[in-house]
Structure 1
């Protein structure tokens, strides 16, 4: 093996350079793949947000249309009743007016008035003795006077000469016997009547609801949960789709508002019974504000991961390069070359095992009895690994107080320290003679990312055991660099492994890790005829949490639920997030009824937990479906059975645990 390593160290230079470049190239590919996936997912999420925004706006438009139609129908019914009362017996008209006002909201019936056939005010409930003001110029009077049709007319917003307030006039003609025009009956609708509806719906910052006539004039508009009086009477541009006679009755478009200049997404519906259009708008910026904020965080996270990946790749490439340089330097001393090559080829071994072997080979190479790798702190030296043929009391993890006369500055450089018993530099030794009686010491510092990590030291109980020469110095120096590089590489690999196998939000296992591990567990259960249960958990009505409290609160809820689940499971159970609000629990050595007990405990604990978020306290429930592995069954089949049980729990009212049930399960 030693000969083989010597031959490999003399391989062509092009081969030496290829591995670091390959690592850097692979790192670049990983970073590109990360950003490609991120941007693809961002686009998909953008389209989802857009689709949901259109859907929400359309739903609100439909609701507002129904509300407006109901309002107009009620007023029309009042008009018909009062008209009949005016024609039949005017002495009872005032009583009828009072009855109608008592039956409806004050803002619905601002003013009830009668205009006679000559355009004079004949009656007003605001002032029964009001002077006969000439209202013949009013549009609603002229419309009924010039038309023969008996139909409801909805006017543009007007300011009443008697009431002094803006209102929408809803009118019907008064037809005397013989269907002769006898005047107009008017009910003034206060736009503030719709404030209650506006205040009940949150369309986000800048979201609005408007009622617009087909003449393009705004009758009423609400924005940010309140009435926008400044918009009443404004004219909508003729290029709006719903102003086109050939336009569809329902539609969506995006435009800049003529009222406040804000770009909005508009969903409209033309009313069937009346020449009106309801339009619900959401400010484009507000619609995607949460999306942009969330994806800004994701991009920062991806940037951090990219930096870490690049740093890890660079360090891995540097470690490989250092290994080649190490081999090149060791060619100067054949014995050192064989020793370090033997250490370097321990591929796949644990880091501690590598250090132990390195210390063992180092002791043999230097002719000393003990070698120690450890971390340096302010006043302590913590042992990472120790090898000794004469001293067994020093173990991994021991924390030793540094000698009072220790000079830390001796290890603040990359040079090698050599100590002889009785020399002035003996204070640099990391182990006091109370810990280990020694006569000589050779060691060097361990650096990671230009930061002092600790020290590597070799000790001997024999005075002047060996005259350490330049090759020994170089051996210890390179061994210290190798230890530092190995620690850095191990950290980078562990970090990359954690990124690949753990869900970053909840700390649960990732879907990819779960699907790989579950096959092994299923094979083991089949081979040894042992029970295996699968629980699928889904948060009930989780979308409402995001809609009501925001995505940050949704993330906090997912993290808290994951903490609750992990706190109630065994170490042998596998808990993973499959996506969104769906989780899975794989329970080896567990039958279905036992899994049901655990699932019920989880359900009860979650339902009784108040989750504190920045947007307020959240309460949520979970539903769970359980299945036990059957003979010959694979993961897809048991998953589908558990999913069916979960669907059953959802359909039976949520906050339930349901089991698939089977008589052919394994391990009963």
Structure 2
């Protein structure tokens, strides 16, 4: 018992298992998950960059603070030593100054100077004999003069009147007689000294570090690994956090620079021993530049993956849809395929037999009266093969009305066409008349690859055949493809056979085909004791044609001679090219004297013809040898006798025919 599910039910079950819409929805979920993960990871990476940025700049600020603190401490210690030497023994003061100069080169020390209590220059290591200079207006002099506190003072950047250079001046007061103000000891530091430190730090493009007094003046600033001299003496806005009295000693903030207008992320530290602030800053855009560039590439990659997923999802959804349609078609066409299998098994070897059997079984399968294969000739469909148990008047070669009428919109496509009587736009009957009330047609085009060959169609005048189901349509579609492939296969076989059995230059049969056919003819002649003659032809002085006129002319000569010979032979005669300029003719039912007459006629026709070639007009003659098959002979024997006769014709002057001659021959 057949318990298989109906085709439509099985199709619906398959569609429930997997749906193109579900595939597209899953594709959307995958794309959403991809972008969600990407954006989450981007945010996490952004936060890491942000955190490391503050950490890096804070570490640089701390390192710079230690460097500045160490430098100021060292210079303050030098001030104390030199001040004591100035008070105790000025001759030793000069010595200590030279020692200090040797220890600290020009990269740090600009000048060591002493100012008297009245504000005039008492000493300068740059010019010990310099004329007195009034320095009473210097801030550091006035601070020490007006204060009784012995402490280090760090000046604003000032331009030296002796050195002529900008410097940061570290000073200590000089006391005489214990508590009387005796002047000021000054060590001027070169701001570029800090460039050595700037060069060891990399805060990225536009990154900077700065030494700023609590008075808001910039003492030193490095940017892009070098000293920024233009920033020395600039005033920092008072709204900066480190300028606020209640601000923490260590902090971070983001602000636009008053020096170059760049927005930076700044980490600062207030120095505990000195009224100074150190700050390390990174350009905000540069902090995230690498991050943005990296994630720009990631997003482009994600966009490409998204497009690939969309394409893959669409392709897969379409593939599933086509698979469902194909499955439905296959289920509908199950019976049709069995019928096609029956056609393939029962059809004969010849193409006409195959088509006739296909049309016969097709009519039975569809329940119609007539099936037709029509071929396209000059925009008209002509009956190629027809089967009918009703319409005896339709035969091969007749014009097929319906396809001729509907060529533009039916059989130029590969779809199956179904037409009822009365639905034609021109009102023409399917069979060329209005005899039948209930007339219908189902058919499709037959194609050889991409080339339209014709149509296969089925006609009916029965009322119940007015409708065809999907299985019928699929059967007709598959039958059209089978007919097309059968025609293409038959043509290919014939072409291959022709290539294998025919000489490509002259159109004569090939040597291989000839030797095979000769054996069959000799066997038949011996079996039925019928005459059989062999003629060997050879072109006289053919080598001269090639030498004088060229090989192209030689080829034309061979083709011409072959054409003359083929035009005078019977359909039953076998003409072949054995090689070079040698030809053979096998003539069944022909005695030697008859073959001699044919060979002589061939010789005369060739001799009387002129061959026009690219190299010039060529005149050629032939020589021939004729032999009739003897009792018990094989091909080799008769060939040798015909060849001897040909040799005799050549030796006797050429342009002649000779016979082997023998009284003991078959069929006499």
Structure 1 residues 337 and 224: CA distance shift in structure 2, 3 A = farther
Task: Establish whether residue 311 from structure 1 lines up as the match of residue 311 from structure 2.
Answer: yes
User: Retained in 2: the 8 A contact 1:444–1:476?
Assistant: no
List runs of 5+ in structure 1 lacking aligned partners. Answer: 340-361, 369-412, 417-440, 446-467, 478-668
CA distance in 2, matches of 1:280, 1:29: 46
CA distance in 2, matches of 1:363, 1:58: 86
Query: Paired residue for 1:51?
Result: 51
CA distance in 1, matches of 2:206, 2:272: 28
How do 1:647-666 and structure 2 match up within 5 A? none
Please state how far the C-alpha of 1:364 moved relative to its aligned partner.
9.8
Structure 1 residues 325 and 26: CA distance shift in structure 2, 3 A = same
User: Retained in 1: the 8 A contact 2:8–2:328?
Assistant: no
Structure 1 residues 305 and 183: CA distance shift in structure 2, 3 A = same
Query: Paired residue for 2:147?
Result: 147
User: Retained in 1: the 8 A contact 2:172–2:186?
Assistant: yes
Please state how far the C-alpha of 1:183 moved relative to its aligned partner.
0.7
Task: Establish whether residue 104 from structure 1 lines up as the match of residue 111 from structure 2.
Answer: no
- Structure with larger Rg: 2
Please state how far the C-alpha of 1:310 moved relative to its aligned partner.
0.8
Matched residue of 1:110: which SS? Answer: strand
Structure 1 residues 321 and 102: CA distance shift in structure 2, 3 A = same
Matched residue of 1:156: which SS? Answer: coil
CA distance in 2, matches of 1:117, 1:297: 69
CA distance in 2, matches of 1:443, 1:276: 94
CA distance in 1, matches of 2:131, 2:483: 112
Please state how far the C-alpha of 1:296 moved relative to its aligned partner.
0.7
Please state how far the C-alpha of 1:326 moved relative to its aligned partner.
2.1
Query: Paired residue for 1:133?
Result: 133
Query: Paired residue for 1:162?
Result: 162
Query: Paired residue for 1:554?
Result: none
Worse-matched range after superposition: 59-68 or 322-331: 322-331
Please state how far the C-alpha of 1:472 moved relative to its aligned partner.
3.8
User: Retained in 2: the 8 A contact 1:217–1:235?
Assistant: yes
Please state how far the C-alpha of 1:321 moved relative to its aligned partner.
1.2
Matched residue of 1:167: which SS? Answer: strand
Could you say what the CA RMSD is over the residues aligned between the two structures, in angstroms? Answer: 3.2
How do 1:357-506 and structure 2 match up within 5 A? 470-473=477-480
CA distance in 1, matches of 2:85, 2:28: 85
Query: Paired residue for 2:65?
Result: 65
CA distance in 2, matches of 1:87, 1:315: 96
How do 1:546-557 and structure 2 match up within 5 A? none
User: Retained in 1: the 8 A contact 2:271–2:278?
Assistant: yes
- How many residues of Structure 1 are paired with residues of Structure 2 in the alignment? 365
Query: Paired residue for 2:354?
Result: none
Structure 1 residues 185 and 312: CA distance shift in structure 2, 3 A = same
Deviations 1:172-191 (A, max 9, x none): 00111121111111000000
CA distance in 1, matches of 2:482, 2:180: 119
Task: Establish whether residue 333 from structure 1 lines up as the match of residue 299 from structure 2.
Answer: no
Structure 1 residues 6 and 190: CA distance shift in structure 2, 3 A = same
Matched residue of 1:11: which SS? Answer: helix
Structure 1 residues 318 and 165: CA distance shift in structure 2, 3 A = same
CA distance in 2, matches of 1:328, 1:476: 23
Structure 1 residues 474 and 147: CA distance shift in structure 2, 3 A = farther
Deviations 1:531-561 (A, max 9, x none): xxxxxxxxxxxxxxxxxxxxxxxxxxxxxxx
CA distance in 1, matches of 2:117, 2:289: 57
Please state how far the C-alpha of 1:237 moved relative to its aligned partner.
1.1
Query: Paired residue for 1:3?
Result: 4
Structure 1 residues 71 and 415: CA distance shift in structure 2, 3 A = farther
Please state how far the C-alpha of 1:216 moved relative to its aligned partner.
1.1
CA distance in 1, matches of 2:76, 2:49: 40
Deviations 1:320-377 (A, max 9, x none): 11122224444663336899xxxxxxxxxxxxxxxxxxxxxx9999669xxxxxxxxx
Task: Establish whether residue 86 from structure 1 lines up as the match of residue 49 from structure 2.
Answer: no
CA distance in 2, matches of 1:338, 1:242: 94
Structure 1 residues 316 and 363: CA distance shift in structure 2, 3 A = farther
User: Retained in 2: the 8 A contact 1:336–1:365?
Assistant: no
List runs of 5+ in structure 2 lacking aligned partners. Answer: 347-411, 416-445, 451-474, 485-668
CA distance in 1, matches of 2:44, 2:241: 28
Matched residue of 1:72: which SS? Answer: helix
Please state how far the C-alpha of 1:119 moved relative to its aligned partner.
0.8
